[in-house]
Chain A
Amino acid sequence: MMSDLLLQAAASGVVTGCVYALVALSLVIVYKSTDVVNFAGGELLMLGGYIGLLALVYFELSYPLMFVVVIVAMYAVGALFERIPLTTVRGQRYSKNAEADLVPLVVATIGLGYLLKGAVRVVPYTEEVRRLPPLLEGAPIFIGDVILLKQDIAIIAVTVVVMIALTGFFGWTRTGKALRATSQNPRAAALIGIPVKSMRMIAWGLAAGLAGIAGILLSPKLLMTPDMGNVVMLAFAAAIIGGFSSLVGCVVGGIILGVLQNFVGILISPQAMAVTPFVVIMLILVLRPQGLFGELAFKKV
């Protein structure tokens, strides 16, 4: 009986873990390509969810079309945020201590978070608490004794497709390789003619697009509010488990966290679920700051 419960909890943990993995990857891409910890990641997810809602319910677009609209819109938001405020802030600072130069950039992301929350609240549509319709409807699927909704399967499928696409992009394409080169050594990249500013815009665009996809996937499962971005804490924890550096690390970190959170809910108490990510972050930072895959951090993305 208990083992059935845990198995079910594990399965649904994998599903939410997929969403955490997408957001974690969004944070990692920004961090690796611009050295900035993006505290607006959650709000980007929230914005993606609301853009999806508007597209689907207000403009009555189909689900696939809505995906495209959200990705394009979020890409633009991310790229513009990098291009205008971040580039401006970067250009003004000059000190020998590169770390000190990062503080205003991180503060700018916090500002972006508040701005997005404020902007979404102004839209009348968001006063009412809503939910996106499920990605896929229909009878749940049984795998042994485990029940999965069709939309849960869709979440896993979308995540797998996105991760495979990104692995191919970073591993094989000209632009993907240039992005990795820029993140490893921006100076060297600039000196062989890679346009570093454009690369940073692409990285932010991709990151915001990923957060937007996560928003669409999560919004049918959660109540949508302008504060739904708080789930970003789980993504931070997932990224930190994975060493804040690789795609694989984000996926493994996300799934571990999703499953762990559900287990904590069953074995300890539902109230304890909320503190799980914080405890995980603290434990990892104290015990194994390089993350589970520290030694592989060398390898990917």
Chain B
Amino acid sequence: MLRIEGLHASYGKVSALENVSLNVEAGQIVCLLGANGAGKTTTLNCVSGLVAAAGGRIVFEDEDISRLRVEDIVRRGIIQVPEGREIFTAMSVEDNLMLGAWQHKNNQRNREQLAQVYDLFPRLRERHAQFAGTLSGGEQQMLMIGRALMAKPRLLMLDEPSLGLSPILVQQVFDIIKTIHKSGIAILLVEQNARVALDVSSYGYILENGEINLHGPASALAENPQVHEAYLGGAAVRH
């Protein structure tokens, strides 16, 4: 479904990605793991068209999308949930969600979609009239995911959805990711929290200093001693 082939990217003269290749097949959850500064966000931004690729190809369903505008990439169903709390703070929760459906003009269908999102996130329904800026960190993360669902994604790219959340909330977010996946949406999941990410994924890539240095089925990665050492705190090796 998504094929990244030999992607290069740089900020000015500083190279951020070197020869990154990865695949996401329809119906899969694939994770991209790596430490802070490894280039995970840059990879997603290249796919979304926010950062121009300096080399390589990004192919979505047999179409090279690496030169398309951001809004045209969204139109093809590739939706990124960015890192951090990127919401419209001074607008209501419902306005935030409805803006997610900006490219879809069928109001009737958008309303139905909204009801589904509220079913997935009852907290958002309760707070639909509040300013989004008044939500807690976890609720804001839910809002960003809900907003992305309003855009009717075919491939959902999540950038560190567990960042800054308590373990209980992380569990909730990942349960929701599983639910979304079951509804048939492919997911590219960027995480530093390798344990939870590998747990839900079927395949994983490990990015280090802008290069993929390891990839394989998630179960194999979870048992790989190198991965343990670097990303799982070495815990399993000890027991």
Residues on A lying within 8 angstroms of B by beta carbon are 94-95, 174, 177-178, 180-181, 184-185, 187-196, 298-299
Contact = CB atoms under 8 A, between A and B. Distances in A.
B131 A191 contact: no
B74 A184 contact: no
A195 B71 contact: yes
Q: Interface residues of B: mostly helix, strand, loop or mixed?
A: mixed
Given A192-B74, A298-B131, A298-B133, A185 B87 contact: yes
Contact of A188 (B12, B69, B86, B95): B86
A158 B119 CA distance: 46
Most buried by A among B12, B71, B86, B91: B71
B70 A190 contact: yes
Contacts, number: 75
B74 A188 contact: no
Contact of B95 (A94, A177, A299): A177
Nearest to B73: A193
24 contacts: A94-B11, A174-B102, A177-B99, A181-B99, A184-B89, A187-B50, A187-B82, A187-B86, A188-B87, A188-B88, A189-B88, A190-B50, A191-B48, A191-B50, A191-B81, A191-B82, A192-B100, A192-B103, A192-B150, A193-B71, A193-B151, A195-B69, A298-B90, A298-B133
Contacts of A180: 88, 90-91
B12 A184 contact: no
A123 to B, nearest CB: 38
Interface of B: 11-12, 48, 50, 69-71, 74-75, 79-82, 86-91, 95, 98-100, 102-103, 131, 133, 144, 147-148, 150-151
Contacts of B95: 177
Contacts of A196: 70
A193 B148 CA distance: 10
Contacts of B133: 298
Contacts of B91: 177, 180-181, 184
Contact of B99 (A95, A178, A187): A178
B48 A178 contact: no
Contacts of B48: 190-191
Contacts of A184: 88-91
Contacts of B70: 190-191, 193, 196
A178 B89 CA distance: 13
A247 to B, nearest CB: 13
B131 to A, nearest CB: 7
A191 B84 CA distance: 14
Contacts of A181: 88, 91, 99
Contacts of B79: 191-192
A301 to B, nearest CB: 9
A179 to B, nearest CB: 11
A198 to B, nearest CB: 9
A37 to B, nearest CB: 21
B82 A192 contact: no
A147 to B, nearest CB: 42
A194 B90 contact: no
B55 to A, nearest CB: 18
A154 to B, nearest CB: 34
**Which 6 interchain pairs have the tightest Cβ spacing?**
A193-B74, A188-B86, A193-B103, A190-B70, A184-B88, A195-B71
A94 B81 CA distance: 24
B225 to A, nearest CB: 37
A188 B82 contact: yes
Contacts of B102: 174, 178, 192-194
A47 to B, nearest CB: 31
A298 to B, nearest CB: 5
